[in-house]
Structure 1
C-alpha cells in the first residue's frame, strides 16, 4: 500500500464518481443509506447511552456504505448484509473496528466536553440528550460560539477517522496506525479534499436553491418542505457513496490485494 498525492481537481472528480456510481444502483444505495440513518436515529433515541453507542458504531457503518459502493463498482447489487461488513471480516478486523469505534466515541465526547466550556454544556446537552432547539437558544451568543467551537474541533477528528475504517478493514492496519495514516493522507492531499468539500457544499446549496425556485414558480411554498427532505437525503447518500473514491484514489494497492476492485 502506497500513499498517492493527487491534484486539487481530483476532489471534484471524486464527487462526480460518487454521483455516477450512485445512479448505477440508486434504489439499493438509497435504501442502504436510509437503513443506516434509521439505525443511528433509533439508537440516538436512548438518552446519552444510545448516542454513545451510535457514535461507536459510526466508523463501522460508514465502512459498510463504502463496501456497498465497492460492490456497485464491480457491477454487483449491494445487499443489506454489506452494512455489517466490518463485523464479518475476521477477528482481527473486528477487534480493530471496535477499538476504532470506541476511540471515535471518546474523541467526539471530548469535542462536546470542550464546547461545554463555552456555553455551560447547552449545545452538548442538546446533541447528546436531545431537546427543543428554540429561537431563544439560537440567539444566545454562547450557544453559537459553542457550536462553532465544536465544528472547528471536529475537523481534525474527522480527518483522523476519514480513511481509518477502510485501512483497518481492507488492509488489517492497527487502529492507532490507521488514524495516523488517515490524517497524513488527508493533509498531504489537503487541496483535493478542500475541493471535494467545497464541491459538495455547492451541490447541496444548488439543490436547495433549485427547490426554492421551483416552489416559487409553482406558487407553492409547502413544496419546499416536501421536496427538500427526500432530495437532501438522496444527496447525502451520494456523498457517502463518494467517500469510497477518496480512499481508493488516495491509497495505491498492489495487484491481488483484497481491496483491489479487480480482485475476485
Structure 2
C-alpha cells in the first residue's frame, strides 16, 4: 500500500527545525540511535575486508542506511525502540519495491565508482599518493614531513578534491529522498530520483540553511573540544574524543533525515514532536 505524497515548498527556517528535531529524537533513544550507526560502521569495516566486492556492497548499502534511519526515527516518534531490522525492512515490503530499492543501490554504487575514477584522473593520482603516505606515518622524520607537505601542495590535489566533493554533492540530490519515495510512495526508480531532485530544488533555501547549520556544529564542536583539551594540557586525548563525537553528530544527522522527507513530501515537519509540551 502506498501513501499519498505531494511535493511541498517549505520556508528556509525549516532547515534549522530539522536539525533541532534530530537532536530531540536522539535524546529520546540515544543508545538505540547511536547503536544503529555504530552497528552500520562495524558492518562497513567488515565488508571492507572483502576485496572489491566488499567496497561495492558497502556503497550499495548507503541508500538503505538513510532510509533505515528514517524508519528508526518514525519508530521513536511512536515510542518504540528501533533495531537493526530497520535496515532490511525496505526489502521486505513487496518484490517490486525490493527490486526498485536494489536498483537504486546499484545505481548509487556504480555512479560513486565513476566519480572516484574521474576524480583520480583529474588529480593524476595525487590523492592516492597522499593516502599512502598518511597510512604509514613516521613520527619525527623530517623526510616524511616534507613528503606530506609536498603531497598537500600538489595543485592537482585541490582540483581532484573539488571534483570529488562537487560530484558527490550533486549525486546526493537525486538519492536524498529516492529510497523513501519508493518505500512510502511506491514510486519507480527514475520517478523517485526525479522527485527527490525536484523536492530539494524547490526547498533549496531550507537545505542550504540545514547544511550551514551542520557545518557550523561540526566546526564549532571540534574547535571547542580542541580548546578545552589544550587548556587542560590533554592534547593526547583529542584523537580518542574524535570518535565518540563523530558518532554522536552522525547519529543525530541521520535521525534528522526523516523530517526533511515528511516536510517536503508528506504532512510537513511538526513544530513540536509528539509527546512534547507545546
Q: TM-score, normalised by structure 2?
A: 0.85
Residue 19 (structure 1) aligned with residue 19 (structure 2): no
Question: Does the 8 A contact of 2:70 with 2:254 survive in 1?
Answer: yes
Q: 1:173 aligns with which of 159, 180, 187?
A: 187
Residue 238 (structure 1) aligned with residue 238 (structure 2): no
Q: 2:225 aligns with which of 188, 206, 211?
A: 211
Query: How much has 1:140 moved relative to structure 2?
Result: 2.0
1:258: which partner in 2?
Answer: none
Q: 1:148 aligns with which of 155, 162, 175?
A: 162
Question: Does the 8 A contact of 1:32 with 1:83 survive in 2?
Answer: no
2:92: which partner in 1?
Answer: 88
Query: How much has 1:143 moved relative to structure 2?
Result: 2.2
Query: How much has 1:121 moved relative to structure 2?
Result: 4.4
2:175: which partner in 1?
Answer: 161
Which has the higher mean CA deviation after the structures are superposed, 114-123 or 10-19? 114-123
Q: How does 1:1-264 map onto structure 2 within 5 Å? A: 1-123=5-127, 131-133=132-134, 135=148, 136-252=150-266
- C-alpha distance in structure 1 between counterparts of 2:218 and 2:67, whole Å: 23
Query: How much has 1:61 moved relative to structure 2?
Result: 2.3
1:144-166 CA deviation, whole Å, 9 max, x = no partner? 21111111111111001000010
Query: Aligned with 2:79: secondary structure?
Result: coil
Where structure 1 has 5 or more consecutive residues not aligned to the other structure, the ranges are 255-260
- C-alpha distance in structure 1 between counterparts of 2:124 and 2:50, whole Å: 22
Instruction: Give the CA RMSD over aligned residues.
Output: 2.0
Distance change (3 Å), C-alpha of 1:146 and 1:223: same
Query: How much has 1:120 moved relative to structure 2?
Result: 2.8
Where structure 2 has 5 or more consecutive residues not aligned to the other structure, the ranges are 136-147, 269-273
Q: TM-score, normalised by structure 1?
A: 0.89
Which entry has the higher C-alpha Rg, 1 or 2? 2
**Count of residues paired in the alignment:** 252
Question: Does the 8 A contact of 1:86 with 1:94 survive in 2?
Answer: yes
Question: Does the 8 A contact of 2:129 with 2:151 survive in 1?
Answer: no
Question: Does the 8 A contact of 2:26 with 2:252 survive in 1?
Answer: yes
- C-alpha distance in structure 1 between counterparts of 2:97 and 2:267, whole Å: 18
- Kindly report structure 1 stretches of 4+ aligned residues shifted beyond 4 Å: none
Question: Does the 8 A contact of 2:115 with 2:167 survive in 1?
Answer: yes
Question: Does the 8 A contact of 1:22 with 1:241 survive in 2?
Answer: yes
